[in-house]
Amino acid sequence: MGVQYDGNDEGEHRGGYVLTPLGRSSWPIQGVDVRRFSLWHWLGVEFDSTTPQSPPGTQVLGRVYPHLRNRRVRGEMTYYERGGAKVYAAGTLDFPSALNYPQFRQLLANLWTRLATP
């Protein structure tokens, strides 16, 4: 998937997505009110992030920093294309709960449109 497990604290600490400069200007974020992303500080439970083994060209669109017990575990929202595959990773286990909010529904619609096109 381009990311791997980085940490889990049973949901005790949570954070909101902070978009990278690339993420703010990327196609998945088109039509999304990016000012609203950092307001939701409840993303967490499990965090996945890039590693040196992540495929070349893996783009980090945003990060969640939950500040776990003096350790900077992070979740990274990523995307890459390789060999005909289109791969998106939210970087947080409970990303589906974000779909209650319009900004995340727009992000999912953008992803679905891109991923569904051969």
What are the tens digits of pLDDT across the range 13-42?
A: 667 778 899 999 999 999 988 877 666 666
pLDDT digit string, tens, across residues 75-98: 889 999 998 899 999 888 777 777
Tell me the H-state helices in 1-118.
Answer: 21-24, 102-116
Highest averaged pLDDT of the listed ranges 5-9, 70-74, 77-81: 77-81
Q: What angle do CA 43, 32, 1 make, to 5 degrees?
A: 55
**pLDDT at 69 exceeding the cut of 80:** no
Contact of 60 with 23, CB cutoff 8 Å: yes
Residue 116 lies in a domain: no
- Cβ atoms of residues 77 and 57 within 8 Å: no
Residues 22 and 39: their CA atoms lie apart, in Å, by: 20
Residue 9 binned pLDDT confidence (cut-offs 50, 70, 90): low
Give me 83's structure tokens: 């060999």
Say if 118 falls within a structural domain.
no
Say how many domains are in the chain.
1
Residue 17 falls inside a structural domain: yes
Q: Is residue 11 part of a domain?
A: yes
Answer whether residue 25 is part of any domain: yes
Answer with the residue of higher pLDDT: 112 or 94.
112
Q: Is residue 117 part of a domain?
A: no
Residues spanned by the domain of 88: 4-111
Computed on alpha carbons and rounded to an integer, the radius of gyration of the chain in Å comes to 14
For 25, phi then psi, to 5°, come to -105, 10
Is residue 9 a part of any domain in this protein?
yes
